Structure 1
C-alpha cells in the first residue's frame, strides 16, 4: 500500500485541524487496537457547516460531497489520535446519518461520499468497511450528514 500521505497529496487533500468536541464527550477513544471516532459533520476548514434537508433543499449529489468532506474531517481526527495514518490497518465500520426528508431513499448513495474516499485513500484491503446508512428527522444544527467510524490500527 502506498504511503497514505502520498495518496492524500495525489488526491489534492489537505487535512484540516481536528475539530474539538462541542459538548461533554471526546472526539475519539482508543481501546486495544480499535479507535472509535465520534460523529463528525460536513464542516469546512473555515468553520462553515453544510446544512439542510437532503431530498429537499439539498440534492443527493451535494450531500455526497458533504459526506466526502465529513470523511476528511474523520481522517483529521484519526491523524490527531494516532499521529500516523499509516498505522491504520482497517476501517472497520461506519455509521452514516443523513438529515433527509421522509420520502428520500438514497441514503447509501450519499454516504458513499465517505466510503469512496476511504477506499481511494487507503485502498480496498484497508478502506472497505461494514456500514449502516440511515435517514434522520434532524441532525445537530441541521447539518446534512453526520458520520462516525471504528478504525483498527497497529501499535
Structure 2
C-alpha cells in the first residue's frame, strides 16, 4: 500500500537500500523500533545535489534532497522488515543540513522530508523532528537524514 503511494507521488519505485560507505549497517531493528543510519540524497547511484545550502545549493533543491533522503531511509527500513506496510508510526527524523554560514532555514529544508512522509503515511507519518545546520556532510551532500520508526511485529 505505502510503496504504491510512494510511486504515485514520486513517479518511480522505491529504490534498493544504498550500500554503506563504511563499517555500519543501513538500519538496525531493536524491538519494534527501526533506526536508520544517516541517508544521503542519492538517486540512481549518485548524489542529487552537492554543496552547501545557501551557496551552491538552493533552498528548493535542498527541500527535494530532503525528500530523496527520506525515501532512502524508507528503503533502508524495508531492507530490514521486508515491507513498508509494517510501519505503524514514523517516530523521529533528524535532518542535517550542510549550511553556508548565516543560512538559518534548516526547518524549511527539513519540510521536504516531513511533508513527503505525511503525504505517504497520513497521521502515521507525523513525527518529532530536529533540523540541524552543520558545516560539512559526507561527500559534500547538502542533506543527511536519520529516521526512527515503530513497526508492527
**TM-score when scaled to structure 2?**
0.95
Q: Which residue of structure 2 aligns with residue 120 of structure 1?
A: 119
Deviation at 1:18, TM superposition (A): 0.6
Once the two structures are TM-superposed, the CA of residue 13 in structure 1 deviates from its matched residue by 3.4
Distance 1:44 1:6, change over 3 A: closer
Is residue 2:35 matched to residue 1:36? Answer: yes
2:132 aligned partner: 134
Residue aligning to 1:80: 79
Q: Distance in 2 between matches of 1:50 and 1:154?
A: 35
Between the two proteins, the alignment pairs up a number of residues equal to 152
Offset from partner CA, 1:92-135 (integer Å, 9 cap, x none): 00000000112001000001111111111111x21010000010
**TM-score, structure 1 as length reference:** 0.94
Stretches of structure 1 lacking an aligned partner (at least 5 in a row): none
| Cα displacement (A) at 1:16 | 1.1
The within-5 A match list for 1:8-87 is 8-11=6-9, 12-87=11-86
Q: What's the CA shift for 1:34?
A: 0.2
- Aligned-pair distance for 1:10? 2.1
Q: Give me the whole-angstrom Cα distance separating, in 2, the residues matched to 1:89 and 1:109.
A: 26
1:66-96 alpha-carbon deviations (Å, 9 max, x no partner): 1111111111111111111111000000000
CA-based RMSD? 1.1
Q: Secondary structure at the match of 2:60?
A: helix
